[in-house]
Amino acid sequence: MKKTALLFAGQGAQSVGMGQDLSERFPRARALLDRANHALGYDLASICFGGPEAELTKTENAQPGIFLVSWVAFQLLRERVPEFEFQGTAGLSLGEFTALSAAGVMSFEDGLKVVRQRGQFMQEACDQTQGSMAALIGVDEPAARAICDEAGVELANLNCPGQIVISGDRQKIVNACEIAKTKGAKRALPLSVAGAYHSRLMRSAQPKLENALREVLLAPPAVPVIGNVTALPHQSPAEIRARLVEQVTGSVRWEDSMRYLIDHGFSQFIELGPGTALSGFMKRIDKTVTVSNISDVPSLEATASVLNS
């Protein structure tokens, strides 16, 4: 039997209309959306379905929205494939919370609420700073680190071979892009984001998130959950809290996380939530593994058909 890992989407995957066809087709999805609205005290589902885009893109809405749609995809997979089992999880940035919830570390409602709070705290940090991010295409990690050191910015996401995201002060990011072009980068693209995620400019969010996580009951993971900061499985609830706080300013070591899973026998990966970014990363990390995704009704049916065969 193939060892299967679930991968959960991160911020930037959001799009107006996400989850709507799943809600219209499956009562289970509608029930989860209603539970989410009740837990949060506002109609998150309507923002996911109808936006407007500016409202959905706000960090405090995008993060719980992606968590919610990812969770719906996960639960519908279990409903459509009753015998389905998975042996590990991972999630990109906020997706790490979804991955932990899928592994039984926190409840759906607790995960949703703390992700909403995380989004609010990070938005507050964005409002207090002048931060930005950029994607460097065609450079390896040593070259990216040298660019960051020269420009005074930080590595945010080590996504896959040839794609690294940097983060920091807005003007320094502009300078870093210019430096990257002189050092052989194929492209250096500023990203349309609210601030400098996964950099020291997010530090003000850390004590707030730490306090919020103290109110959340955490259990040991039922399956290995690979942490963004360490690219290793999470351990005790206390360690999980510490790593989630550290992750706010730390680098997301996504490629290393995927290579850990592959090195430990995982050969089937299912991306859950809006978009297909994680599937794209995996195809550049290792073309020999099986990758599928669930973001809407057609992709759910296609993945369920393969798994049930």
Alpha-carbon distance 308 to 305, whole Å?
5
**Distance (Å, rounded) from C-alpha 74 to C-alpha 294?**
8
Query: CA 17 to CA 5: how far, in whole Å?
Result: 26
Q: Provide the token pair at 193.
A: 């984001």
Token pair in block for residue 197:
């995620």
Note if the bond before 52 is cis, omega within 30 degrees. yes
The C-alpha R_g of the chain, in whole angstroms, comes to 18
Number of Cβ within 10 Å of residue 60's Cβ equals 17
Which two structure tokens, joined as six digits, stand for 75? 């639960």
Instruction: Give me 87's structure tokens.
Output: 């042996």
Among 102, 107, 16, smallest CA distance to 66 is for 16
Q: Is the dihedral of CA 176, 180, 182, 188 positive or negative?
A: negative
Q: Which residues are catalytic?
A: 93, 198
Residue type, 217: L
